[in-house]
Amino acid sequence: MSSQSVQVAVISGDGIGPDVTSAALACVDVACKACGITAPEQLPIAAGAGYFADTGDDIEAGGELRAGECDAIFLGAIGLPSIRHADGTEISPHLRLRDRYQLYAGVRPVKAYPNAPQMLANPLAANIDLIILRESTEGLFYSAAVHNRSHIIDDVEVQDTLRITRNTTEKLHHFGFRLAQRRKAAGYAGELTCVDKANVFTSMAFFRQIYDEIASQYPDIKTAYQYVDAQALELVRKPWMFDVLVMENMFGDILSDLAGGLVGGMGMAACGEIGDTIGLFQPAHGSAPDIHGQDRANPLAAILSGALMLDYLCDKTGEERYAAAAARIQSAVNAGFTQNRLRPMEFGGDMGTNSVTREVLQQLAA
């Protein structure tokens, strides 16, 4: 596939979504050009709570299918608390995309940047640089959202199912080991920690059993195990010791917020959700209606999600210049913080969405 034909579906969505999306795509564009490659073509797709209020649909006709036919999907943020379905649930077409395209590998980098807020006093906290790999289609979320498979027994009991399948778990662990391999090549420890509760739940013992089976195929990667409660403790005590952590959906939901909180806030939390045929990239934060329209949103989570998307496009197309463009964005953000030229308002700084974006663009061009 040539870079000329690579297409990205763009769902800007609601609230601060459109602002951080245009910031991210501007950076993707400049980084690609700087690496001598054409930026992916953009296919805008209308979706979200605002679209629902206007039309009664949460995504434009055929939008789900068209998004899946692209090479990747970039999403800003979806949902507004004031606009809901009649049953009170939020407008969530992105959850259907996750389900329809089985985006099982949720990649959530957690990295400490110089001069960005850190919650831990230990100077080693400056070295936090890990990835939480959260299974994103089954686990304890299997019952929730799209499928609504909760089992309600009269008015006295409700049961939710924690589902672990061999098929998804094998793919997840392969993904984790390959990710650890790539990081090892870039100088990281090359370790994949299996986070579970295998001492209590049969489903988790199965998760770990499959991890062990797959591990034997990656002898160059160090293996490690943590029970999820101990992992929570260690993420507060010595998060700088970890490289890649793989876990079930609900554990990943909780621990990625905990880890994200150690190094800043929602405006730094990038996210990729990757399946067999397509990946969806979005900042982990929501539409932040409280700051919408005020040029206060930190666009860095979206910009760093753009870098994750470029890495994915490198894998998908074999075009190494996408990976170079991704690295260029990461270096630009790192340099901006190191030089104290990135001071997002989210952290009490003086720079809004536009100033932060301008600074990253300048670093990219330097």
Count CB atoms within 10 A of the CB of residue 158: 11
CA distance 180 to 128: 16
In whole angstroms, the minimum distance from the beta carbon of 269 to ligand ATP comes to: 8
In whole angstroms, the minimum distance from the beta carbon of 354 to ligand ATP comes to: 13
User: Of 184 and 292, which CB lies nearer to ligand ATP in the complex structure?
Assistant: 292
CA distance 144 to 161: 9
CA distance 187 to 168: 29
Which region, left, alpha or beta, applies to residue 295 given φ > 0 means left and ψ of -120 to 50 means alpha?
A: left
In whole angstroms, the minimum distance from the beta carbon of 169 to ligand ATP comes to: 26
CA angle 129, 257, 210 (to 5 degrees): 75
User: Of 190 and 286, which CB lies nearer to ligand ATP in the complex structure?
Assistant: 286
CA distance 154 to 157: 7
User: Taking Cα atoms as reference points, which of 84, 89, 47 lies closest to residue 282?
Assistant: 47
Rg (CA), the chain: 20
In whole angstroms, the minimum distance from the beta carbon of 346 to ligand ATP comes to: 4
CA distance 46 to 77: 12
In whole angstroms, the minimum distance from the beta carbon of 50 to ligand ATP comes to: 14
Measured in whole angstroms, the distance separating CA 259 from the mean position of its chain's CA atoms is 13
User: Of 13 and 176, which CB lies nearer to ligand ATP in the complex structure?
Assistant: 13
Is 333:358 a contact under the CB 8 Å cutoff? no
User: Of 109 and 190, which CB lies nearer to ligand ATP in the complex structure?
Assistant: 109
In whole angstroms, the minimum distance from the beta carbon of 205 to ligand ATP comes to: 32
| Cα within 13 Å of Cα(95), Cβ side | 14
CA distance 15 to 78: 8
Q: Where along the sequence are the contacts to ligand ATP (CB under 6 A)?
A: 16, 79, 266-267, 285-288, 290-291, 297-298, 301, 346
In whole angstroms, the minimum distance from the beta carbon of 282 to ligand ATP comes to: 10
User: Of 92 and 169, which CB lies nearer to ligand ATP in the complex structure?
Assistant: 92
- Please list the alpha-helical segments (H only) found in 318-351: 320-338
In whole angstroms, the minimum distance from the beta carbon of 134 to ligand ATP comes to: 15
In whole angstroms, the minimum distance from the beta carbon of 11 to ligand ATP comes to: 14
Query: Burial of 86 by CB count in 10 Å (0-12 exposed, 13-18 middle, 19+ buried)?
Result: exposed
Phi, psi of 44 (to 5 degrees): -70, 140
User: Of 77 and 164, which CB lies nearer to ligand ATP in the complex structure?
Assistant: 77
User: Of 241 and 266, which CB lies nearer to ligand ATP in the complex structure?
Assistant: 266
CB-based closest residue to ligand ATP: 286
User: Of 75 and 314, which CB lies nearer to ligand ATP in the complex structure?
Assistant: 75
User: Of 12 and 169, which CB lies nearer to ligand ATP in the complex structure?
Assistant: 12
Q: Are strands 72-77 and 105-111 parallel, antiparallel or unpaired?
A: unpaired
First CA to last CA distance, the chain: 30
